[in-house]
Amino acid sequence: MSLSKKPYKGTRDFFPKDKRALDYIFSVMRKTAFEFGYESYDGPLLEEVDLYRAKSGEELINDQIYNFLDRGNREVAIRPEMTPTVARMVALIHREEAKPIRWFSIPNLMRYEKPQKGRLREHWQFNCDIFGAPEGHGELEILTLVIKLLKNFGANETQFEILINDRRVVDYIIKEKMNLDEERSYKLYKIIDKSKKVSPEALEKMVDELNLDQDAKNVFNKYLAVSSFGDMLHLLKSEGAPQERIEDLVSFSEKLDKLELIKYFRYDPTIVRGLDYYTGMVFEVYDKHPDNRRAISGGGSYSDLLKIFNEAPMPGVGFGLGDVTLKDFLEIHKLLPNFETPENDIFITYQTEKAEIEAIKLANSLREKGLRVVIHFGELKFKKIFGLAEKKGAQWVALMGEDEFNQQKVQIKNLSTRDQKEFSLSDIDSIYSNLK
Amino acid sequence: MSLSKKPYKGTRDFFPKDKRALDYIFSVMRKTAFEFGYESYDGPLLEEVDLYRAKSGEELINDQIYNFLDRGNREVAIRPEMTPTVARMVALIHREEAKPIRWFSIPNLMRYEKPQKGRLREHWQFNCDIFGAPEGHGELEILTLVIKLLKNFGANETQFEILINDRRVVDYIIKEKMNLDEERSYKLYKIIDKSKKVSPEALEKMVDELNLDQDAKNVFNKYLAVSSFGDMLHLLKSEGAPQERIEDLVSFSEKLDKLELIKYFRYDPTIVRGLDYYTGMVFEVYDKHPDNRRAISGGGSYSDLLKIFNEAPMPGVGFGLGDVTLKDFLEIHKLLPNFETPENDIFITYQTEKAEIEAIKLANSLREKGLRVVIHFGELKFKKIFGLAEKKGAQWVALMGEDEFNQQKVQIKNLSTRDQKEFSLSDIDSIYSNLK
């Protein structure tokens, strides 16, 4: 019996051209994070399950986590998300650090999902978090960063939008105005979270099951009808919301306006985020392409992440953005460069076995200069050389035939201009200058 | 009860300064691989256990692997090494690829080990493999690459050496000259593999248990006494080895000599490599530092890796090098740069709340130019600015007090020269030119 050559269900093999695309994606993520002064961190692949039990939503623990007992009977899980890990790490060191703490990571994560478009079992996720920033500042910076990230990929406001909401507003509406207790509030949160994915009839049915009174229904319908900062402001005023909620909203939208960022945003009351730890602003970045209407990133503010470690509350704001949905977004908008061939400087060939050692020496000398050098082992016929060199993405080809070997020379050909020059093998500096 | 803040046993938290060191290590690995025209790939975090059962050594499967049943009753494992995955991937595509195939990866791997110096449960491993190169060429290139890697970290031949051997030579000695059957050969291989880690007495005891006859013992002792290419050549000749083995050895050491690489090598008959798939050359890179005499990398040639997939044999040569042992090597030889602070271009501050939006605008404009910009939120007193800026690794500081804000100006101070200049906030190009 022979073994399967396929990767495990829901995971991917990254052959070189796939990996070049992934590395490009990582490089833009890193560049953007560094532009905002975020520092890279990483954590373990495995954490004890208690950490997720304390921090993530129910669904994640029950159905989606890769958990098992290790050989020492510890209950562990492959990380399904990074936030619990970063909370643990910040809890360890925050006393010694100047605030705010700005961190990012790009871990591989696993969730036990039914593989489908945009959703796999293993993916990479760009995570950015700011801890300990004054109220409102962290939110603004994180949103600016996520916009800059997509701009650094070449995207603009016709291609994506940020749907934004605030848990404190939702809490005010649900708990204060609709008068729901904790249990029914929690259920309504879950219903709102799912509302985009179901039909209006299915939504109505779910809401009906909560047995809301007519006043509560009315408020809820007004809430769901909000579709702009202006609408929300109007609702908060007409429902007599505390001055703080109203001022926050005004000040926040004014800042977005002054920073010329308002064009990226739309107020959306159905954005609440599934995970339980958000306490303030919540947002999702949506693809505007009609064939790919889905979230490519989500995040928000949380104030209690460190509580499970018996640490004082510290405000945090963060977001996650996965490589699978991002790649779908970049592809549908034709923003992903072509990674078919690698990038190399020179393809070294010899047409006589005698020249082998000279060819390797030349290769090693050019590597000392930092060039990317591919050598072809064994005699290579002239007519095959250029096709192979192009497949290797080489800019130049070195040729050593019988004559060149006898004279200790090498021919160097530029593959785009087709110019060819002869050099003495011992004159590495001239060869190198010619290649730049 | 509060949760533990510690990472799972045998794994590491990478706080920013640790992650900068790790990223530096990765960047040198990538640079070196690219210098040799190797292309980056990656595979899944989980593979089905059958893949490891077919390919890795017994010990790995029985004691060291993180395996479990997934929710669909598939027996899976977190990858403990990359070679089985790369074999699977090459088996999938080798028919369409020009040879040789040159690939590298830097996966995170997990083994269930007792954590100790140089050995953790989770580590990263640089893997380079060349498939389908003509006999001898792949070996030479892989060895050249591993030497260049350590040179790119600043190391030299006084700090590391490559201990080399050949499984075909070991096979000839054990099977042909000592006349051991498969079972006893396998046991002797395992004994040789452990010989460096035990006392001479313990070694003798293990060998005694094989009940060798006197002739076999004599050959084995002569074999163990080899300590140079010359010794091995002498032994092969005196034991009547096939001409092919002798010529290979001569030609190989001559090439190392011509390429000025021989100084890095020492013939070592105890190097056989624990994993079962090697069939030709085997090597380990050893730290020469008296306080850290251990292998930091190992590899070799294999010809049958694709057999488990019912594919024709294809020669391969590869090596692995883990980040934990490499970091120990770099640290003991003082080759690791200081990563205490991040690298940023400018630290933007304001001394009056009114300037907040102007400060963020300036930050965003400089980010458009690709600069790394850290902004301090909230008024910052003058005497605290420079200490904070230095902690952030900034080269420059921007200051906006009441006066500057009123005139729409900004002071830019160079932290090393202490020069300070005033700019108009609207003149981003001049500010940017000044920062370069």
Residue A327 in tokens: 């790649």
**Contact assessment for residue B321 and residue B125, using Cβ atoms and an 8 Å cutoff:** yes
Q: Domain A12-156+315-340 carries which CATH code?
A: 3.30.930.10
Nearest CA in chain B to A387: B98
Q: Which residues in chain A come in under a pLDDT of 70?
A: 1, 55-60, 275
Q: What percent of chain B has pLDDT over 70?
A: 98
Most confident of B218-222, B273-277, B432-436: B218-222
**Contact assessment for residue A128 and residue A318, using Cβ atoms and an 8 Å cutoff:** yes
Q: Which of A220, A234, A221 is closest to A180 using CA atoms?
A: A220
Of A9, A15, A134, the CB nearest to B41: A15
Instruction: State how far the Cα of A305 lies from the Cα of A309, in Å rounded to an integer.
Output: 9
Of A133, A309, A377, the CB nearest to B3: A309
Helices marked H in A112-172 — which ranges? Answer: 137-152, 167-171
pLDDT band of residue B196 (cuts 50, 70, 90) is confident
A378 CB near a chain B CB, below 8 Å? Answer: yes
Backbone dihedral angles phi then psi of residue B51, each to the nearest 5 degrees: -60, -45
Q: B207 CA to chain A: closest CA distance, Å?
A: 32
CB-CB under 8 Å, A309 with B2:
yes
Coil, strand, or helix at residue A147?
helix
Which of B95, B257, B367, B373 should we substitute to test contact with A (largest number of A Cβ atoms within 10 Å)?
B367
User: pLDDT at position B1, please?
Assistant: 54
- Per residue in A182-223, pLDDT tens? 999 999 999 999 888 899 999 999 999 999 999 999 999 999
pLDDT at residue B213 tops 80: yes
Whats the size of chain B, residue-wise?
436
CB-CB under 8 Å, B72 with A342:
no
B71 CB near a chain A CB, below 8 Å? Answer: yes
Contacts of A5 in chain B (CB under 8 A): 88, 91-92, 309
Q: Which of B406, B398, B399 is closest to B354 using CA atoms?
A: B406
Which of A11, A15, A64, A86 should we substitute to test contact with B (largest number of B Cβ atoms within 10 Å)?
A15
Instruction: State how far the Cα of A385 lies from the Cα of A401, in Å rounded to an integer.
Output: 13
Class of domain A344-435: alpha beta
Mean pLDDT of B285-313: 93
User: pLDDT at position B308, please?
Assistant: 86
- Per residue in B341-390, pLDDT tens? 999 999 999 999 999 999 999 999 999 999 999 999 988 888 889 999 99
ipTM above 0.90, yes or no: yes
Residue type, B138: G
CB-CB under 8 Å, A342 with B37:
yes
Q: E-assigned strands of A264-383?
A: 265-267, 281-287, 295-302, 316-322, 344-348, 373-375
Question: For the purposes of burial, counting CB atoms within 10 Å of the CB of B143, is it exposed (0-12), middle (13-18) or buried (19 or more)?
Answer: buried
The full set of domain ranges for chain B reads: 12-159+288-340, 167-278, 344-435
Q: What percent of chain B has pLDDT over 90?
A: 88
Beta bridge partners of B39: B103
User: pLDDT at position B55, please?
Assistant: 67
pLDDT at residue B167 tops 60: yes
CATH topology of domain A160-287: BirA Bifunctional Protein; domain 2 (3.30.930)
Q: Using the 8-state DSSP alphabet, how is residue A14 labeled?
A: B
pTM greater than 0.80 (yes/no)? yes
> To 10 degrees, what angle do helices A137-152 and A243-258 make?
30
CB-CB under 8 Å, A34 with B2:
no
Q: Which of B426, B369, B420, B373 is closest to B399 using CA atoms?
A: B420
Q: Who contacts A259 (Cβ-Cβ below 8 Å, separation ≥6)? A: A140, A144, B357, B360, B361, B364
Contacts of B93 in chain A (CB under 8 A): 15
Q: Who contacts B173 (Cβ-Cβ below 8 Å, separation ≥6)? A: B219, B220, B223, B239
Q: Domain B12-159+288-340 carries which CATH code?
A: 3.30.930.10
Token pair 């989500």 in the structure block, residue = A298
A224 CB near a chain B CB, below 8 Å? Answer: no
Beta bridge partners of B104: B40, B128
With the CA atoms of A172, A177, A181 and A184 taken in that order, what torsion angle do they form, in degrees rounded to the nearest 10?
-90
Q: With a CB-CB cutoff of 8 Å, which residues 26-45 of chain A face chain B?
A: 31, 34-37, 39-45
CB-CB under 8 Å, B9 with A72:
yes
pLDDT band of residue B114 (cuts 50, 70, 90) is confident
Coil, strand, or helix at residue A284?
strand
Instruction: State how far the Cα of A184 lies from the Cα of B293, in Å rounded to an integer.
Output: 65
